[in-house]
């Protein structure tokens, strides 16, 4: 604080010296009069000209900015932390699979119980703690909030041995400390995926895989003219072109169109997250990564026998080996994309299922 004020004082002096009139008649007069009298007259004269007030406001703004930067609270220092306790305040199940229909159709009772067992858990992996520590340190002070914390956050408590170092609530792109200071972050930070229980990740990937099928239907296929499904030979191309056309923006500053949704984010809709693990930890960061070179492949196939007016339980999309515009029946289905083994299926009415056995596969309606 003292240092900041000193620096601000030096800046004011330098600026005052810089702006003080130099080689003109006023300086000559200044030598002949008492300094204080001169300053007041000059300020008044400057005011009439509208010059000095601007300079003074400018100097004041610089000083205040310097002071505010120097005094802003810093994100919690967890550099000495060796253990992190994570508590999902809404429960781990709703945190990782935020849809009750999805929980019931994709997970067994045992799997739901397993995820629930991580409502509170402890991270001791030092590399993961370092990665999270870096994320937390990147925050910028935003404001001090009053009252209770916003619901839905994840409580993170850091320890060094048995000593509690810091505790704060983590939200999407912000944290709130115990002092109620709010720090803001860029998208995807701080990345809670770093602290996710490893055993839960395959089940979360299953949910995200099913979510891909849902997006392909509701963001792509369902918007076809006349609500007809596209030619099965081109179904992937048709969805890509449709999504590109919906997310394009032309501005008067640029001749070329600007894609609001990157090709990378469209390509990810065709990729099973269980087998194509992103190098970027979180989805938010992955969406920001605008790759120039893409591999267009689809881990999903279409059932050509399914039309919009087919029975609601007819299979529409399902998991298969990588390809593009693949279409066919259960012979293309694969159980190998996921661990535990199985594959996701989307029915004509949007219902999602996770198929674990050949018997279950045969029971589905394909025509
Ligand atoms: Zn999958």
DSSP string covering 45-66, please?
A: HHHHHTSHHHHHHHHHHHHHHH
Task: For residues 196 and 191, give the distance between their C-alpha atoms in angstroms, rounded to a whole number.
Answer: 10
Decide: 345 and 352 in contact? Cβ < 8 Å. yes
Q: Which of 96, 357, 335, 88 is nearest to 202 (CA)?
A: 96
What Å distances lie between residue 237 and 102, 160, 252, CA to CA? 28, 53, 29
Q: What's the 50 CA to ligand 1 centre distance in angstroms?
A: 68
Q: What's the 34 CA to ligand 1 centre distance in angstroms?
A: 84
Q: What is the pLDDT along the chain (367 residues), one digit of tens a residue?
A: 444 444 455 555 555 544 454 445 554 555 554 545 555 555 445 545 455 555 666 656 555 555 555 568 899 988 999 999 999 999 999 999 998 998 999 999 999 999 999 999 999 999 999 999 999 999 999 888 887 777 889 999 999 999 999 999 999 899 999 989 999 999 888 999 999 999 999 999 999 999 999 999 988 887 766 668 899 999 999 999 888 887 666 555 555 555 566 788 888 899 999 987 654 444 555 555 554 457 789 999 999 999 999 999 999 999 999 999 999 999 999 999 999 999 999 999 999 999 999 999 999 999 9
Q: What's the 337 CA to ligand 1 centre distance in angstroms?
A: 6
| Domain ranges, ordered by start, for the chain | 2-69, 83-195, 201-362
Residue 55: the pLDDT is 64
Say which residue the tokens 């306790």 belong to: 85
Say whether 356 sits in a helix, a strand or coil: coil
Residue 227: the pLDDT is 67
Q: What's the 195 CA to ligand 1 centre distance in angstroms?
A: 22
Given CA atoms 199, 203, 204, 205 in this order, what sign does their dihedral have?
Answer: positive
Q: What's the 87 CA to ligand 1 centre distance in angstroms?
A: 28
Q: What's the 168 CA to ligand 1 centre distance in angstroms?
A: 34
346 membership: H or E segment, kind and range: strand 343-347
Please report how the helices 25-32 and 35-49 are oriented relative to each other, as an axis angle in degrees rounded to 10: 150
Q: Per-residue DSSP letters for 301-343?
A: EE-TT--TTS-TTBEEEEEEEEESS-B-SGGGB-STTSSSS-E
Q: What's the 347 CA to ligand 1 centre distance in angstroms?
A: 15
Q: What's the 344 CA to ligand 1 centre distance in angstroms?
A: 6
- Long-range Cβ contact pairs of 52-57 (< 8 A, separation 24 or more): 55/19
Q: What's the 57 CA to ligand 1 centre distance in angstroms?
A: 60
Say which residue the tokens 């010296």 belong to: 17
Q: What's the 338 CA to ligand 1 centre distance in angstroms?
A: 6
Task: For residues 112 and 193, give the distance between their C-alpha atoms in angstroms, rounded to a whole number.
Answer: 19
Residue 62: the pLDDT is 54
Q: What's the 207 CA to ligand 1 centre distance in angstroms?
A: 8
Task: For residues 248 and 245, give the distance between their C-alpha atoms in angstroms, rounded to a whole number.
Answer: 6
> 10 Å Cβ neighbour count for 332?
17
Residue 70: the pLDDT is 55
Environment of ion ligand 1 (residues, CB < 5 A): 209, 272, 274, 337
Task: For residues 27 and 20, give the distance between their C-alpha atoms in angstroms, rounded to a whole number.
Answer: 9
Residue 150: the pLDDT is 77
What's the gap between Cα 238 and its chain centre? 28
Task: For residues 289 and 265, give the distance between their C-alpha atoms in angstroms, rounded to a whole number.
Answer: 8
Residue 67: the pLDDT is 52
Task: For residues 246 and 224, give the distance between their C-alpha atoms in angstroms, rounded to a whole number.
Answer: 12
pTM of the model: 0.73
Q: What's the 152 CA to ligand 1 centre distance in angstroms?
A: 27
């Amino acid at each position: 604080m003292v240092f900041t004020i000193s620096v601000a004082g030096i800046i004011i002096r330098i600026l005052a010296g810089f702006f003080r009139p130099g080689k003109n008649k006023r300086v000559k007069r200044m030598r002949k009069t008492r300094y204080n009298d001169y300053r007041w007259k000059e300020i008044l004269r400057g005011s009439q000209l509208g010059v000095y007030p601007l300079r003074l406001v400018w100097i004041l703004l610089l000083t205040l900015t310097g002071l505010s930067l120097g005094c802003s609270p810093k994100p919690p220092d967890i550099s000495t932390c060796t253990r992190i306790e994570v508590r999902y305040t809404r429960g781990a199940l709703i945190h990782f699979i935020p849809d009750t229909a999805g929980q019931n159709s994709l997970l067994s009772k045992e799997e739901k119980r397993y995820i629930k067992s991580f409502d509170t858990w402890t991270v001791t992996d030092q590399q993961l703690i370092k990665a999270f520590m870096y994320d937390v340190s990147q925050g910028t002070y935003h404001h001090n909030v009053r009252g209770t914390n916003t619901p839905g956050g994840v409580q993170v408590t850091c320890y060094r041995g048995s000593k509690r170092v810091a505790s704060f609530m983590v939200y999407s792109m912000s944290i709130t400390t115990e002092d109620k200071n709010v720090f803001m972050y860029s998208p995807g930070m701080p990345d809670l995926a770093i602290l996710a229980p490893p055993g839960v990740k395959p089940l979360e990937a299953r949910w995200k895989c099913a979510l891909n099928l849902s997006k392909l239907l509701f963001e792509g296929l369902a918007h076809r003219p006349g609500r007809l499904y596209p030619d099965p030979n081109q179904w992937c191309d048709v969805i890509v072109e449709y999504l590109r056309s919906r997310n394009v923006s032309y501005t008067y500053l640029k001749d070329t169109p600007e894609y609001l949704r990157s090709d990378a984010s469209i390509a990810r809709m065709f990729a099973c997250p269980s087998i194509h693990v992103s190098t970027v930890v979180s989805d938010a960061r992955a969406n920001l990564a605008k790759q120039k070179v893409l591999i267009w492949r689809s881990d999903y196939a279409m059932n050509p026998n399914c039309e919009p007016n087919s029975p609601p339980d007819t299979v529409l999309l399902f998991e298969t080996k990588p390809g593009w515009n693949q279409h066919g029946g259960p012979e293309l289905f694969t159980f190998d994309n996921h661990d535990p083994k199985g594959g996701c299926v989307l029915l004509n009415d949007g219902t999602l299922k996770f198929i674990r056995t050949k018997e279950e596969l045969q029971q589905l309606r394909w025509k």
